[in-house]
Structures are given as C-alpha cells and as structure tokens.
Amino acid sequence: MGDRVDDLYPPYPEDRPVIVPDFGVSAASTAAPELPDEAQDLLARTADTIDLIDRLTGPVGSDIGSNNWVISGSLTSTGKPILANDPHLGIQMPSVWYETGLHCTTVSDTCPYEVAGFSLLGAPGVVIGHNANIAWGVTNLAADVQDLYVEKINPDDQNQYEVNGEWVDADSRIETIDVAGGEPVQMNVRVTRHGPIISGVYGRLEDFDEKTDIPLPEPYAIALRWTALEPSRILESVVAIDRAANWDEFRDALRLWDVPSQNFIYADVDGHIGYQSPGRIPIRANGDGRMPVPGWTDTYEWTGFIPFDQLPSSFDPPEGFIVTANNAVTRPGVGPFLARDWAYGTRAQRIVDMIREAGTSISPDDVRAMQFDAASIHADVLIPRLVGLASGVPQVRQAQAILESWAGDDGEYRFDVDSQGAALFGAVWKNLLILVYNDDLPKDLRPSGRDSSLEAIRRILDDPTNIWWDDQTTSAVETRDDILEGALLAAWNELNDTLGDPASWQWGDLHTATFVNQTFGKSGIAPIEMLFNRGPFKVPGGTDMVNATSWLVEKGYEVVALPSMRMVIDFSDFDASTAIHTTGQSGHAYSPHYDDMIQRWATGETAPLYWDRDTVVAASKEHLKLLPGTAG
C-alpha cells in the first residue's frame, strides 16, 4: 500500500527546477525531524486521512498556482530588469484585485507613499507592484504551517484535555451567530493550547474515526494549530514594502510578513534582482505536519519558528533570472524544512526554458508573451506514447493522426482556442485519468488532472505492466498500451458526441471561462444571474501551463482557476509597464468598468500601468476629488 500511496503523492522530481538552486544554509536544527518508530507506517496506511485533511484545510502544493519571475538587465533588450507576476486564483466576479496608484503630492516622511500596483479589498497599501525604487511579486510558498492535534478529552469533563498526564481546562466561550430569517445559533467554542477544537463543529470530520487508521483515544477531539489563527503583522509588512527603497529595506519589511508564506521576487532601479521567502514556519520536535498527531504529550509540539535569516534567499544569482511557480524552493534535505507538497515544476520548467531559449535580449513584449504561453508539458510527455502505440481500431488511428500533426513549427503543443489537437488531447487526458484511477480509488481520492496527476502518470509511463494500468473491473490484465488505446477511443467518441465533425473540433468550444458573481451569481433566478454573471468566454491555456486556465477532470473542461491578473514591470520606463486583471475595476453591474477587461484578458492583451502623474492625468477618463468637510 505504501508504494501505491507514493505513486499518488510522488516526491518532487529531480529533473524539475527549484527556486534557489545554490541555497546552502546549514540548518540541521530546523530540518524536519524523523518520525518516531511507532509512527513510521502511518503515511502508508492513511490515504483516507490525507484526503480528509485536504478537504479540511484546502488543497496545497500542486493544487494551487501562480507564476512570477524576474530577469536581470544582463539578459534584457533594455539593459534593465523586467519583473513579471500572475497570481492564479479561483475564477470569480468581481475580480479579487483592484488596480491602485498611491502617490503623495509631495513625498516626505509624513507622506512617504509613491507606489502603484494591485490592492486587495479591505487591505491598506499595494500588495503587488512597484514604487520609485523597487518592484516585487509573489507566489504561494505553500509552507506547512497547519497541524492537526488529536486531543485526549476528560470523559468526566468535556472542557478538559490532557497535557503530559494532567487534565487542564480549555478556554471556553459561547458565541452567538445570528441567522437571517431564523433563530440565533449558539456555539460552544473550545480552544486548547494548540488552537480551536474543530471536530464536532466541522461536518467533514464527523466520521474521522471511521476513515482513519490512526489510533484515537476515547473520547477525543481534533484541534487545529495554524499560524493564520495567531496575531499577525502582515499589514505592517505591506506598507513597509511600499516604502522600501532597496534590498535591505525590502528584507526588513518582509521580516514582518508572518502569514501566509510567499515566494517574493524583487528588482530595483540599480539593476539588482532577488528572492526572499518570509513567514513564520514552525520547527517541529517530531514529524513533518502531514498527519494528525497526539496532542496530549510534547512529542509533536512546535519548538519555535525558523529564523528569518535561515529562510531561503537569493540576490543577483549568476543565472541572471529567478523563477517561482509554486515549485520546490530548494532540493530535498537542503536548508530548513518548509513543506513537502509543492507544485511539481511543470510551469517553472517551461518558464525557465523560455528564458534560456530567448537569449540575452529579452524584451518586455517577450515577457508578456511568456505569460500567455499555452504550450503543454503534459503533451510533451504523453504524445510520443500515444502516437507510437500500434492499434487496429480506425478511430484510434484517426485520433493518432490528429495528435501527430498538432505540434507547431517550433515543435510545441499549444492549447490555442482554435486548436483541434488541444481539444482531442484534453479529452484523452481526462479519459486516461478516469481509466487509470477510477477502478482503484474512491471518488474523493481520484486525481483531478493537475500536475500531481501528470507526475503520477509520468512515474509509471515506462512500466507497461504497472498495477495501476490494470482495470480491476475486468477479468483481463490490462497493460499501459491497452489503457492508452482506450483513452484515445473514449476521447474520440466523446468529442464526436459533443462537438460533431472532427474537422470542427476546437479547444475553445470545450474550454471556457464563466465569471460568476460572488453574491448573486448562483441565486437560481435567471434574470439576476444574467445581470451579474459574464460568459462563457473561449480561453486558451489549461491546467499547469504558464497560462494556467485550470480545469478539473471531475468537473469538465470549464475554467475553475486562472491568472487573476498579469503584471510586467519595465525598469527602463515605468510608464511602459503593463497590467490587467480579469474583470474590471467596478463591482457595479451597470458600470461600463464592471466587465471591460474580460475580453482583453482572455486574448492576452494588457493595459498600461501608468506611473508618471502627467501621464496618469492625461489618460484619465474620470476624476473624483475628495475634499475635507467643514464642521457643523
């Protein structure tokens, strides 16, 4: 069983890039300790538990994504750095971002802000952007900062739990939740030394004892320790970043950034580039945080947090560029333990390849094209096997012919909206995962098609008799080529049923983005939904491509997550920098700015991210001036 779990959750591949390849901080005291002997077999026995944890805390690593990269002036056509960022978030309406410029009329100690970029609703300052001296971008580090503790509850007093052989009182309070149109609901909130008890109030943990092989006391409760539930200084960090004028001040600002941990890239007007990972990341006495652990002793306690100066960092690396795409920060065993559930490096590999292939004269336009790149590493891996297998089925041979002629002159397999090959391959990929895994795994554990799925398939692709290829629902013993042929045939039949004549198949007819309003978009009232929702829009790209318009096998080909904005900062001329987010600046459905970015975003267009005051004023369509009122 252990090997099969490893097949589903493979380690980070050695042939994919890491963010800081030369990181060499000696941090033996903060590396992930070994599990005690009695716990060594837990990971091999608890696939159901892993699924429960993912459902509780949300997917991490390979199931989330963003891109950012920064290129030194030694590799650019302008001789100055270029910084790019496109965070990937769930599709929604309105956009999560608001494009903002904060410019003091006179920059001084009392009004120090001269910054432009993107803000989040309710948060002060600019979260991603640039000021007069530096620029920065972020992707999710996916640091492991959540642990579940199994608390041993006193059977005679539900408000007590055991700590090192003694019963101690949990902090307890009654919270009242007002319910519109109903009676208020009262909840007893209990907090242990680890954090709030979530079992009993979180429905997905109701059957935890039935789905896990982890030994549980009776009675028990599950408490969540999470750095996000502890006091944070992140807002201080944001405004300090906005004011930073150089690398040292930038890093000092990031010392305040405690949660969530991010991959920060950096560039400045003096031509420097850099990377820093911040955040409060725990040091564990034992274990690596992947599994629920006993909370009644100190065996699995957090003993502190990794010191900031021991977190991975890079300044002016010899490669002349830095790429992050939720991939591993360092090689396994190097530096302090940060996480184990990274994205598997497909997007990072593609970005690195494009930068290296572009030479030493990369332009801002080149970088914008890279952000919209829709070439597929999935296809690079699978197409040779698919077109190379021998088949006597006419439909399979026709499908193979389409895939064989798909690649462009550059040899890349691109998921453009008008691509016939992309439509077929998307259907093959979906059906391949269904044929490989649906007979072996319960619904909640089946791979969704993201790069963890690609890595899982890649691990077994050279083993034609691997047990995963066999269909457990038949008496025959299927091999790899049987399943690949079955996926080709199933895809052919599916697209014939849904899209008709193969000559008319296009990826954009399957892969669309619909922007659903967060408040009224699922009201169930058609006229209301028509007013607030927008789409569907045909979009290129796909899961774990650089233009990561992600879709899930279990939900069809529709976009579920996407590049929520795209930004390129040009240090040769800040006024030549560009940006766009997904919908529009307004949240008002009747405003012309509610949806005026969607089509441009979908086709890879951007807009100027103006910086100079005169340029901003000249390009303005409307001007709102707020004046202090008078008392009375």
332-343 pLDDT tens trace: 889 999 998 899
**Token reading at 172:** 């307890």
How far CA 516 is from CA of 94, 461, 553, 560, in Å, comes to 8, 38, 20, 11
Residue 275, pLDDT score: 98
Number of structural domains (the chain) is 3
CATH number at residue 201: 2.30.120.10
User: What secondary structure letter does DSSP report for 553?
Assistant: G
Confidence of residue 629 (pLDDT cuts 50, 70, 90): confident
Confidence of residue 411 (pLDDT cuts 50, 70, 90): very high
Range of weakest confidence among 179-193, 212-226, 470-484, 609-623: 212-226
Of the chain, the percentage scoring pLDDT greater than 90 comes to 81
Residues 6+ apart with CB under 8 A from 34: 286
Domain final residue pick, 457, 486, 505: 505
Residue with tokens 């890279």: 370
Confidence of residue 632 (pLDDT cuts 50, 70, 90): low
Interatomic CA distance for residues 153 and 160, integer angstroms: 6
Provide the domain limits for residue 195: 39-59+145-229
How far CA 489 is from CA of 392, 418, 463, 555, 591, in Å, comes to 11, 22, 22, 21, 48
Residue 64, pLDDT score: 56
Interatomic CA distance for residues 54 and 191, integer angstroms: 22
Q: pLDDT digit string (tens) for 12-37?
A: 999 999 999 988 643 333 333 343 34
Range of weakest confidence among 166-180, 199-213, 453-467: 199-213
Interatomic CA distance for residues 487 and 396, integer angstroms: 9
Confidence of residue 122 (pLDDT cuts 50, 70, 90): confident
Range of weakest confidence among 159-168, 340-349, 436-445: 436-445
Residue 200, pLDDT score: 78
CATH number at residue 425: 1.10.1400.10
Same domain, 290 and 150: no
Calculate mean pLDDT across residues 65-82. 96
Confidence of residue 1 (pLDDT cuts 50, 70, 90): very low
In a domain, 523, yes or no: no
Calculate mean pLDDT across residues 340-348. 93
How far CA 423 is from CA of 69, 346, 418, 515, 536, in Å, comes to 29, 20, 9, 22, 17
Please check the confidence at residue 557 and state whether its pLDDT lies above 80: yes
Calculate mean pLDDT across residues 446-459. 89
**Token reading at 192:** 């242990």
Of the chain, the percentage scoring pLDDT greater than 70 comes to 91
Q: In this structure, how many other beta carbons lie within 10 angstroms of the beta carbon of residue 200?
A: 14
Domain final residue pick, 371, 386, 402: 371
Q: Are 83 and 364 in contact (CB under 8 A)?
A: no
The separation between CA 204 and the C-alpha centre of its own chain, rounded to angstroms, equals 23
Same domain, 290 and 336: yes
Same domain, 400 and 460: yes
In a domain, 12, yes or no: no
Confidence of residue 51 (pLDDT cuts 50, 70, 90): very low
Residue 46, pLDDT score: 33
Calculate mean pLDDT across residues 493-501. 97
Interatomic CA distance for residues 430 and 96, integer angstroms: 29
Name the amino acid, one letter, at 127: V
Residue 628, pLDDT score: 87
Residue 54, pLDDT score: 41
Same domain, 365 and 273: yes
In a domain, 596, yes or no: no
CATH number at residue 249: 3.60.20.10
Q: Are 549 and 539 in contact (CB under 8 A)?
A: yes
Interatomic CA distance for residues 399 and 387, integer angstroms: 9
Measuring CA to CA, which residue among 600, 596, 512 is closest to residue 549? 512
Calculate mean pLDDT across residues 272-279. 98
Domain final residue pick, 454, 484, 505: 505
Same domain, 383 and 493: yes
Same domain, 201 and 304: no
Interatomic CA distance for residues 550 and 429, integer angstroms: 13
Confidence of residue 252 (pLDDT cuts 50, 70, 90): very high
Residues 6+ apart with CB under 8 A from 555: none
Measuring CA to CA, which residue among 576, 386, 547, 550 is closest to residue 481? 386
The predicted model scores a pTM of: 0.92
Q: pLDDT digit string (tens) for 106-117?
A: 999 999 999 999
Interatomic CA distance for residues 311 and 327, integer angstroms: 16
Same domain, 387 and 454: yes
Q: pLDDT digit string (tens) for 356-383?
A: 999 999 999 999 999 999 999 999 999 9
Residue 211, pLDDT score: 65
Interatomic CA distance for residues 263 and 138, integer angstroms: 5
Residues 6+ apart with CB under 8 A from 384: none
Calculate mean pLDDT across residues 231-257. 97
Range of weakest confidence among 45-59, 325-339, 437-451, 610-624: 45-59
Please check the confidence at residue 47 and state whether its pLDDT lies above 80: no
Q: Which ranges of 142-222 does DSSP label H, i.e. alpha helix?
A: 208-211
> Per 3-state DSSP, what percentage of the chain is helix, strand, and coil (rounded to 5)?
30, 25, 45
The mean pLDDT value of the chain amounts to 90
Range of weakest confidence among 2-6, 324-328, 505-509: 2-6
